Amino acid sequence: MPNFVDSPMKRVLVVGGGGREHAIVYALSRSKQVEKIYCAPGNAGIADLAECVSIKDTDVEGLLAFAQSHNVDLTVVGPEAALAAGIVDTFRAAGIPIFGHTRAATQIESSKEFAKQIMTRYNVPTAGYQSFSDYEEARAYIANGTFPVVLKYDGLAAGKGVVIAQDYDEAERTLRDMLVDEEFGKGRVLVEDYLTGPEFSFMCFVSGERVYPMPLAQDHKRAYDGDKGPNTGGMGAYTPLPFITKDDEAFALEYVLQATATGMAKEGLPLSGVLYGGLMKTPQGIKVIEFNARFGDPETEVILPLLDTDAYDVFYAIATGGELSEVRWHEKATVGVVLASKGYPAHYEKGFPITGVEDYNGPVFHMGTKRADRQLLTNGGRVMMCIATGKDIAEAQHKVYQEIEKIHCDNLFYRKDIAYQAL
Band of pLDDT at residue 187, cut at 50, 70 and 90 = confident
pLDDT at residue 162, rounded to an integer: 86
Q: Is pLDDT above 60 for 1? A: no
- Clarify whether residues 183 and 200 are in a common domain: no
Give DSSP secondary structure letters for 201-237: EEEEEEETTEEEEPPPBEE--EEEGGGEEEE-S-SEE
Q: Which of 185-199, 299-313, 350-364 has the lowest mean pLDDT?
A: 185-199
3-state secondary structure of 125: coil
Q: Are 259 and 122 in contact (CB under 8 A)?
A: yes
Identify the DSSP state of 381: S
Give DSSP secondary structure letters for 244-307: S-HHHHHHHIIIIIIHHHHHHHHTT---EEEEEEEEEEETTEEEEEEEESS--TTHHHHHGGGB
Distance CA 24, CA 29 (A): 9
Residues of the chain by 3-state class (helix, strand, coil), percent to 5: 30, 30, 40
Residue at 120 is within a domain: no
Distance CA 211, CA 103 (A): 20
SS3 sequence of 383-396: EEEEEEEECCHHHH
Number of domains composing the chain: 4
- Clarify whether residues 406 and 347 are in a common domain: yes
Residue at 413 is within a domain: yes
Residue at 114 is within a domain: no
Domain boundary among 320, 355, 377: 320
CATH of the domain at 287: 3.30.470.20
C-alpha distances (whole Å) from 235 to each of 47, 126, 232, 325, 421 are 23, 26, 7, 35, 14
CATH of the domain at 352: 3.90.600.10
Distance CA 382, CA 338 (A): 7
Distance CA 417, CA 228 (A): 11
C-alpha distances (whole Å) from 323 to each of 208, 295, 411 are 10, 20, 47
Residue at 244 is within a domain: yes
- Clarify whether residues 187 and 204 are in a common domain: no
pTM value is 0.94
Q: Is pLDDT above 90 for 186? A: no
> Which range in 3-17, 177-191, 351-365 is most confidently predicted, on average pLDDT?
351-365
- Clarify whether residues 204 and 294 are in a common domain: yes
Residue at 327 is within a domain: no
C-alpha distances (whole Å) from 371 to each of 15, 46, 340, 391 are 20, 12, 17, 35
Residue at 68 is within a domain: yes
Residue at 111 is within a domain: no
The strand pairing partners of 36, in sequence order, are: 11
pLDDT at residue 65, rounded to an integer: 98
127 φ, ψ (degrees, to nearest 5): -70, 145
- Clarify whether residues 217 and 298 are in a common domain: yes
Q: Are 354 and 404 in contact (CB under 8 A)?
A: no
- Closest by alpha carbon to 133, among 73, 47, 191, 220? 191
Q: In what order do the strands lie in the sheet with 210-213?
A: 210-213, 199-207, 272-282, 285-292
Q: Could you tell me how many residues make up the chain?
A: 423
- Clarify whether residues 409 and 351 are in a common domain: yes
Q: What is the domain range of residue 181?
A: 128-193
pLDDT at residue 2, rounded to an integer: 36
Q: Which of 84-93, 143-152, 206-215, 303-312 has the lowest mean pLDDT?
A: 143-152
Q: Is pLDDT above 80 for 73? A: yes
Q: Which of 1-15, 153-167, 224-238 has the lowest mean pLDDT?
A: 1-15
Q: List, for residues 121-162, the tens digit of each pLDDT value.
A: 999 999 999 999 999 999 999 999 899 999 998 876 666 688
- Clarify whether residues 210 and 296 are in a common domain: yes
Q: Are 78 and 18 in contact (CB under 8 A)?
A: yes
pLDDT at residue 277, rounded to an integer: 98
Please list, in sequence order, all residues whose beta carbon lies within 8 angstroms of the beta carbon of residue 388, skipping any fewer than 6 positions away. 334, 335, 336, 362, 396, 397, 399, 400, 403
- Clarify whether residues 202 and 243 are in a common domain: yes
pLDDT at residue 182, rounded to an integer: 84
3-state secondary structure of 87: helix
- Clarify whether residues 17 and 85 are in a common domain: yes
CATH of the domain at 133: 3.30.1490.20
Q: List the alpha helices (DSSP H) in 72-229.
A: 80-84, 87-93, 107-110, 112-121, 135-143, 168-175
Domain boundary among 288, 320, 352: 320
- Clarify whether residues 305 and 271 are in a common domain: yes
Domain boundary among 297, 320, 343: 320
What is the average per-residue pLDDT within 404-418? 98
The strand pairing partners of 170, in sequence order, are: none
- Clarify whether residues 211 and 309 are in a common domain: yes
CATH of the domain at 65: 3.40.50.20
- Clarify whether residues 212 and 263 are in a common domain: yes
Residue at 107 is within a domain: no
User: What is the identity of the amino acid at 44?
Assistant: A
Distance CA 421, CA 423 (A): 6
